[in-house]
Amino acid sequence: MKGQDDIEKYLPLTESTYYIMVALIEPLHGYGVMQRVEVISEGAVKIGPGTLYGALQALEKEGLIDKAGEEERRKMYALTSKGRQVLRLQIDRLAVMVRNGESFFSEEAE
């Protein structure tokens, strides 16, 4: 299936890219993305401006996010439908990994 292959070429996402995309489910500016990533990752991921803006530029170039306007001269970004598809597939991949890991530990406990 060509459409699915087009989406799967972005997988797996890096941890930083995954959290940036999750943060952009709702439109946000760069600083807001940095803050939200730290919160939703429970402090495990902290993204600096250089990493963030490089990632935003790459995601926009690939059509996974788009500018959603400006607020007080800050560019707002949000996921595109293609970005949502990629994120959904990544979440499905992670769910399989968690199930397999949990299965391993539950078998080990027996």
Tell me what pLDDT residue 1 has. Answer: 46
pLDDT digits (tens, 9 = 90+) for 15-31: 999 999 999 999 999 99
Contact (CB, 8 A) for 11 and 90: yes
Indicate the number of domains in the chain.
1
Q: Is the pLDDT of residue 51 over 50?
A: yes
Would you tell me the crossing angle of helices 15-23 and 30-40 to the nearest 10 degrees?
110
Average pLDDT, the chain: 93
Tell whether 43 is covered by a domain. Answer: yes
Domain with 11, as residue range(s), is 2-103
Q: Which residues pair with 70 in a beta bridge?
A: 75
CATH number at residue 49: 1.10.10.10
